[in-house]
């Protein structure tokens, strides 16, 4: 690795990361296409047309459709329907949701800078990485705490234990595994500014291996796998809330 | 259903076992939106009555159907062809799927806001189309309603039989009363009381009489609307007949008919009718708030509670007006039960359960009675003939179960909890007769004078 501290991802080859990302995106798009085809009775475009038409469909009876902004903010982003049912579960879900989405957004931001840097723009990636460090730490711990609560619930609360299936475990354990590999990659990676080794000690080979492993499985599990797994609720649930108009 | 002699469908190789042509794209998407949080399980009255048997869990029903869909239309199915599903498994799933009163409490509590009621009805239809449903004798609904225009096998001419001599029905008016089949044939006290109350309040109304046909709720709820297109034919007929009479408002006292007129008629016809759909509770609450109702009778300090009919409450959003009415009835203290409004516990009669799986309906209704007993209610009121009938049965069932210890009730049946429709209570307290035509004719023949009800005081 010629510039060991340069890349946020820490992957030896930028192009390897781009390659894996492309595969993940293609698998994601294929899965989404198949899902939309399934929903649309064999036609993805029929699904999309129906979906878009349904968003503004008038509600019947005394139920009134609230504004789209309220639906997006209160029902999708702040997830008040979960809060109303269980504040404890809302805290758990928000920790996972904000942690996951936040880190996804941060990763995308840095990936854009990496691409710009790669095509020759003058960008100090070390500074950018450093500016995102604190946010990433917070989001990472949020995700970790949320997942630990989710696993504890599924092991300790009897009615949750009873209804838990492999379908549920794959998602929560898979995400936990990725989160842990992320912490390990961070633990072996030298600090962006000082170059000091962080909490797992100095091992460049391990740092690179974990970084590559973490990024590869993150892309495959957290993007490519979405349409084929319980992860699908991340997209389908907000879409359903939009169609049905949200509200408490 | 589980008919072991039923011939197995022949599915050509490469064809999915379950088609999705009547399940709309957004309903199909809803199956993938379930987060499996289990909130629906906590509230489902069927799962509760089935002692938590996972087969009846709404969450697991969604999972099972999603699995069928994945096996039929997923990536693996695209590459290797749809999986050959086990017909017994599909039938088992279908039977569980019809063990649902479509009350919609699962939709109220779902964090993903899944519209389970409409999704279930569409899926039921798909299952009916492959001969896996409906459940039990509800299979007769399309034939009966298609042929007789009502589910009670009555002649259309008999639709006028419930009208007592004292009730005035206008030839022309802005308001129409849509009595429905149950109030017209089976629980005539509801039709009689509604008509007398409207007369008493000087609200002239027309009635379609022989022209009125069944709202077809039972067919829609059990996933059979395609059989002879009966709901569409009846919707078109009723709406056009009402529009031809030039009415501005159509009044309903039956929650089932009200639901159909509010939600199903516009869906089936692709347009809203040219009249307003009103529940009689809305009218009464409005008049009470204007101080225009004068009560003549009073109860003697009884406790009354209200059971929200699913079709009126969760499905159509009418929660407050029946409460305003009941809260204003003289001599009654209005007390809420556990599980009300959008979280209300279903009585168990809907979705074809009363007709198809009556023991399940009875178990669910019995739970509702226990809710009312927990607040020492003397009267449990509702605005739906099906709730009235089923909760009444539930009361008798609970009393039977408690009979060995409740000697007071056995010795003093007048202390039994009264299960009564709001409109009957209103009529009684307005000092109106609640006797149906047949009773009045009998009384006349026997020379019996009408006597004031003993349980009411004069005001």
Q: What is the CATH number of the domain that holds B441?
A: 3.40.50.11810
Q: Taking 50 as the threshold, does the pLDDT of residue A5 lie above it?
A: no
pLDDT range class, residue A119, cuts 50, 70, 90: confident
Tokens 């469908």 correspond to B9
Is B51 near chain A, with CB under 8 Å? Answer: no
Judge: A240–B26 Cβ closer than 8 Å, yes or no.
yes
The contacts of residue A85 (CB under 8 Å, 6+ apart) are B39, B109, B111
Could you say which DSSP state residue B23 is in? Answer: S
pLDDT score, position A4: 46
What share of residues in chain B are helix, strand, coil (percent, to 5)?
50, 5, 40
Is B262 near chain A, with CB under 8 Å? Answer: yes
Report which of B424, B359, B425 is spatially closest to residue B393, judged by C-alpha positions.
Answer: B359
Is B109 near chain A, with CB under 8 Å? Answer: yes
Report which of B329, B337, B336, B256 is spatially closest to residue B298, judged by C-alpha positions.
Answer: B329
pLDDT score, position B2: 47
CATH number of the domain bearing residue B206: 3.40.50.1860
Whether the predicted model's global pTM rises above the 0.80 cut: yes
A&B contacts, CB < 8 Å: 123
Tokens 């000697």 correspond to B407
Judge if B327 and B347 occupy the same domain: yes
Tell me how long chain A is.
248
| Span between the terminal Cα atoms of chain B, in Å | 55
Query: For A56-70, how does the pLDDT look when each residue is reduced to its tens digit (9 = 90+)?
Result: 777 776 777 788 999
Task: Give φ, ψ of B457 to 5 degrees.
Answer: -105, 155
From CA B16, how far away is CA B84, in angstroms rounded?
Answer: 8
pLDDT score, position A162: 86
Task: Give φ, ψ of B362 to 5 degrees.
Answer: -65, -40
For residue A245, the chain B residue with the least C-alpha distance is B113
CA-based nearest distance A71→chain B, Å: 11
Long-range contact set of residues B320-324: C-beta below 8 Å, sequence gap at least 24 = B320/B285, B321/B279, B321/B281, B321/B282, B321/B284, B321/B285, B321/B286, B322/B281, B322/B285, B322/B381, B322/B383, B322/B422, B324/B281, B324/B284, B324/B285, B324/B288, B324/B289
Interface test with A, best of B15, B32, B279 (most A CBs within 10 A): B32
pLDDT range class, residue A85, cuts 50, 70, 90: very high
Number of structural domains in chain B: 3
Q: Which residues of A touch B37 (CB under 8 A)?
A: 82, 89
Q: Which residue in the set B25, B60, B78 is minimally distant from A34, CB to CB?
A: B78
Judge if B312 and B438 occupy the same domain: yes
Report which of B306, B310, B261 is spatially closest to residue B285, judged by C-alpha positions.
Answer: B306
| pLDDT, tens digit only, all 459 positions of chain B | 444 566 666 777 788 899 999 999 999 999 999 999 999 999 999 999 999 999 999 999 999 999 999 999 998 999 999 999 999 999 999 999 999 999 999 999 999 999 999 999 999 999 999 999 899 999 999 999 999 999 999 999 999 999 999 999 999 999 999 999 999 999 999 999 999 999 999 999 999 999 999 999 999 999 999 999 999 999 999 999 999 999 999 999 999 999 999 999 999 999 999 999 999 999 999 999 999 999 999 999 999 999 999 999 999 999 999 999 999 999 999 999 999 999 999 999 999 999 999 999 999 999 999 999 999 999 999 999 999 999 999 999 998 888 755 556 666 667 789 999 999 999 999 999 999 988 888 888 888 776 667 778 888
Judge: A165–B318 Cβ closer than 8 Å, yes or no.
no
Judge: A34–B75 Cβ closer than 8 Å, yes or no.
yes
From CA B429, how far away is CA B145, in angstroms rounded?
Answer: 36
From CA A163, how far away is CA A154, in angstroms rounded?
Answer: 9
Q: From B286, B302, B329, give the residue that closes a domain.
A: B286
Judge: A39–B317 Cβ closer than 8 Å, yes or no.
no
Angle (CA) B125 B129 B131, round 5°: 115
From CA B386, how far away is CA A237, in angstroms rounded?
Answer: 34
The predicted complex's ipTM stands at 0.89
Whether B9 is covered by a domain: the verdict is: no
Judge if B166 and B269 occupy the same domain: yes
Interface test with B, best of A30, A38, A85, A234 (most B CBs within 10 A): A38
Query: For A144-195, how does the pLDDT look when each residue is reduced to its tens digit (9 = 90+)?
Result: 999 999 999 999 998 899 889 888 899 999 999 999 998 888 888 776 556 6
Neighbours of A237 (CB within 10 A): 25
Contact B242, B250 (CB under 8 A): yes
CA dihedral B369, B375, B378, B383 (to 10 degrees): -60
Whether B48 is covered by a domain: the verdict is: yes
The phi-psi region of residue B203 (left if phi > 0; otherwise alpha if psi is between -120 and 50; otherwise beta) is beta
Judge: B28–A39 Cβ closer than 8 Å, yes or no.
yes
Is B271 near chain A, with CB under 8 Å? Answer: no
pLDDT score, position A2: 40
CA-to-CA dists, residue B152 to B103, B149, B235, B253, B358, angstroms: 23, 9, 18, 19, 17
Judge: A60–B41 Cβ closer than 8 Å, yes or no.
no
Is B29 near chain A, with CB under 8 Å? Answer: yes
Tokens 């609640």 correspond to B434
Judge if B307 and B273 occupy the same domain: no
CA-based nearest distance B416→chain A, Å: 35
Whether B78 is covered by a domain: the verdict is: yes
Q: Which residues of A touch B24 (CB under 8 A)?
A: 50
Judge: B315–A237 Cβ closer than 8 Å, yes or no.
no
Whether B313 is covered by a domain: the verdict is: yes
Judge if B57 and B176 occupy the same domain: no
Whether B2 is covered by a domain: the verdict is: no
Could you say which DSSP state residue B378 is in? Answer: S
Judge if B98 and B232 occupy the same domain: no
CA-to-CA dists, residue B180 to A199, B187, B251, B385, angstroms: 75, 10, 11, 10
Whether B11 is covered by a domain: the verdict is: no
Q: Which residues of B touch A30 (CB under 8 A)?
A: 75
Judge if B82 and B160 occupy the same domain: no
Q: Which residues of B touch A165 (CB under 8 A)?
A: 36, 63
Could you say which DSSP state residue B158 is in? Answer: G
Judge if B342 and B307 occupy the same domain: yes
Is B187 near chain A, with CB under 8 Å? Answer: no
Q: Which residue in the set B29, B36, B54 is minimally distant from A239, CB to CB?
A: B29
Q: Which residues of A touch B39 (CB under 8 A)?
A: 85-86
Q: From B286, B305, B327, give the residue that closes a domain.
A: B286
CA-based nearest distance A138→chain B, Å: 25
pLDDT score, position B418: 94
Judge if B324 and B261 occupy the same domain: no
CATH number of the domain bearing residue B43: 1.10.1060
Judge: A63–B26 Cβ closer than 8 Å, yes or no.
no
Q: Which residues of A touch B263 (CB under 8 A)?
A: 60-61
CA-based nearest distance A245→chain B, Å: 8
Contact B305, B336 (CB under 8 A): yes
pLDDT score, position A12: 59
Judge: B26–A237 Cβ closer than 8 Å, yes or no.
no
Judge if B153 and B260 occupy the same domain: yes
Residue B214 domain boundaries: 138-286
Find residue B259's DSSP bridge partners: none
pLDDT score, position A11: 58
A229 three-class SS: coil
Residue B338 tokens read as: 């556990």
pLDDT score, position A6: 43
Q: From B226, B256, B286, give the residue that closes a domain.
A: B286
For residue A38, the chain B residue with the least C-alpha distance is B73
Tokens 């501290």 correspond to A5
Contact B38, B87 (CB under 8 A): no
Find residue B377's DSSP bridge partners: none
Judge: B41–A241 Cβ closer than 8 Å, yes or no.
no
Q: Which residues of B touch A247 (CB under 8 A)?
A: 113
pLDDT range class, residue A208, cuts 50, 70, 90: confident
Could you list the beta-strand ranges (E) of B195-334: 205-206, 249-252, 276-279, 297-298, 302-306, 332-334
B251 three-class SS: strand
For residue A235, the chain B residue with the least C-alpha distance is B33
Judge: A31–B113 Cβ closer than 8 Å, yes or no.
no
Judge if B175 and B251 occupy the same domain: yes
Whether B152 is covered by a domain: the verdict is: yes
Judge if B329 and B234 occupy the same domain: no
Mean per-residue pLDDT for A219-247?
92
Whether B14 is covered by a domain: the verdict is: no
């Amino acid at each position: 690795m010629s510039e060991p501290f340069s890349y946020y991802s820490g992957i030896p080859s930028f192009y390897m990361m781009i390659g894996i990302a492309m595969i993940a995106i293609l698998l994601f798009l294929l899965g989404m296409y198949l899902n939309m085809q399934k929903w649309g009775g064999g036609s993805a475009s029929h699904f999309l047309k129906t979906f878009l038409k349904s968003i503004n469909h008038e509600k019947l009876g005394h139920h009134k459709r609230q504004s789209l902004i309220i639906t997006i903010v209160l029902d999708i982003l702040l997830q008040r329907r979960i809060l109303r049912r269980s504040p404890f579960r809302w805290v758990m879900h928000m920790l996972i949701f904000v942690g996951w989405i936040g880190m996804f957004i941060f990763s995308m931001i840095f990936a854009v800078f990496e691409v710009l840097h790669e095509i020759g723009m003058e960008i100090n990636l070390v500074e950018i990485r450093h500016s995102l460090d604190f946010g990433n730490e917070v989001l990472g711990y949020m995700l970790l705490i949320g997942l630990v609560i989710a696993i504890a619930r599924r092991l300790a609360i009897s009615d949750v234990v009873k209804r838990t299936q492999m379908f549920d475990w794959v998602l929560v354990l898979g995400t936990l595994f990725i989160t842990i590999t992320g912490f390990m990659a961070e633990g072996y990676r030298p600090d962006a500014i000082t170059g000091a080794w962080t909490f797992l000690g100095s091992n460049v080979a391990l740092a690179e291996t974990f970084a590559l492993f973490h990024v590869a499985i993150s892309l495959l599990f957290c993007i490519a796998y979405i349409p084929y797994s319980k992860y699908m609720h991340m997209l389908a649930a907000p879409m359903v809330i939009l169609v049905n108009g949200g509200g408490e | 259903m589980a008919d072991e002699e039923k011939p197995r469908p022949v599915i050509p190789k490469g064809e999915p076992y379950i088609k999705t042509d009547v399940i709309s794209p957004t309903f199909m998407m809803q199956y993938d939106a379930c987060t499996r949080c289990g909130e629906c399980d906590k509230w489902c009255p069927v799962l509760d009555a089935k002692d938590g048997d996972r087969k009846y869990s709404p969450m697991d029903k969604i999972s099972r159907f999603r699995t069928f869909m994945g096996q039929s239309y997923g990536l693996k199915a695209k590459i290797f062809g749809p999986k050959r599903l086990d017909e017994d498994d599909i039938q088992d799933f279908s039977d569980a799927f019809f063990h649902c009163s479509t009350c919609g409490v699962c939709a109220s509590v779902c964090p993903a806001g899944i519209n389970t009621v409409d999704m279930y009805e569409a899926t039921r239809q798909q299952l009916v189309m492959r001969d896996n449903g409906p459940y039990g004798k509800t299979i007769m609904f399309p034939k009966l309603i298609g042929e007789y225009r009502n589910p009670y096998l009555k002649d259309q001419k008999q639709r006028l039989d419930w009208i007592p001599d004292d009730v005035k029905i206008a030839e022309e008016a802005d308001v129409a009363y849509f009595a429905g089949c149950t109030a017209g044939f089976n629980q005539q006290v509801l039709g009689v009381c509604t008509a007398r109350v409207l007369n008493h309040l000087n609200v002239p109304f027309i009635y379609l009489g022989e022209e009125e046909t069944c709202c077809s709720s039972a067919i829609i709820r059990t996933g059979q609307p395609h059989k002879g297109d009966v709901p569409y034919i009846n919707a078109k007929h009723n709406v056009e007949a009402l529009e031809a009479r030039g009415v501005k408002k159509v009044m309903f006292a039956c929650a089932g008919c009200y639901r159909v007129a509010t939600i199903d008629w516009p869906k089936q016809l692709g347009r809203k009718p040219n009249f307003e759909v009103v529940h009689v509770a809305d009218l009464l609450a409005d008049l009470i708030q204007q101080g225009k109702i004068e009560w003549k009778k009073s109860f003697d300090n009884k406790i009354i509670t209200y059971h929200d009919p699913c079709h009126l409450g969760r499905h159509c959003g009418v929660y407050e007006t029946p409460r305003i009415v009941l809260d204003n009835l003289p001599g009654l203290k209005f007390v809420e039960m556990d599980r009300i409004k959008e979280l209300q516990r279903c009585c168990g009669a809907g979705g074809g359960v009363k007709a198809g799986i009556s023991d399940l309906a009875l178990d669910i209704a019995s739970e509702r009675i226990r809710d009312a007993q927990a607040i020492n209610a003397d009267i449990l009121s509702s605005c739906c003939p099906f709730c009235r009938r089923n909760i009444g049965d539930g009361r008798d069932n609970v009393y039977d179960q408690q009979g060995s210890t409740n000697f007071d009730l056995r010795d003093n049946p007048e202390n039994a909890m009264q299960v009564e429709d709001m409109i009957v209570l209103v009529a009684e307290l307005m000092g109106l007769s609640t006797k149906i035509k047949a009773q009045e004719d009998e009384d006349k023949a026997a020379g019996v004078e009408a006597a004031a009800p003993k349980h009411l005081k004069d005001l």
